[in-house]
Amino acid sequence: MARGKRRRGVAKREYEELDVSRLRLSIPHTEQKRGGEFQVQQTMGSNAEEGKTWVCPVCVVVIEPGIVHTVAWDIHRGVQSRRHFHNHCWKLFDGILP
């Protein structure tokens, strides 16, 4: 990062350099459900190993790779309790992780 080269009215450039593909996904946040408090974020699963899939705990249907979906975990149980949900299933989810 060469700071000196950015001085000529190009401050906006900082924003343009953000990874635009990430902006379509929601910002990680917490949500209250009946079962507790969850850390929630959306993912396309693009960091996962190839061929990796997840089974949504709500509808018990596989989430195909490349589908934007919701990852959530109980903040009290920690990230190991995370599950992958279809976006619409997350909305239906009552907060009790299987």
67 binds Zn ion per the rule CB under 5 A: no
Residue 89 binding Zn ion, by CB under 5 A: yes
Q: Which is nearer to Zn ion, 58 or 67 (CB)?
A: 58
Which is nearer to Zn ion, 48 or 59 (by Cβ)? 59
Stretch that binds Zn ion, among 8-16, 20-28, 49-57, 73-81 (CB under 5 A): 49-57
Q: Does 97 bind Zn ion (CB under 5 A)?
A: no
Are 95 and 34 in contact by the 8 Å Cβ rule? The answer is yes
Does 59 engage in binding with Zn ion (CB under 5 A)?
Answer: yes
Other CB atoms within 10 Å distance of the CB of residue 34: 8
Please give the backbone phi and psi of residue 88, each rounded to the nearest 5 degrees, phi first: -70, -30
Residues between 17 and 36 that touch Zn ion (CB under 5 A): none
Residues 6+ apart with CB under 8 A from 69: 42, 43, 44, 45, 54, 56, 63, 84, 85, 86, 87
> In angstroms, what is the minimal distance from the CB of 87 to Zn ion?
9
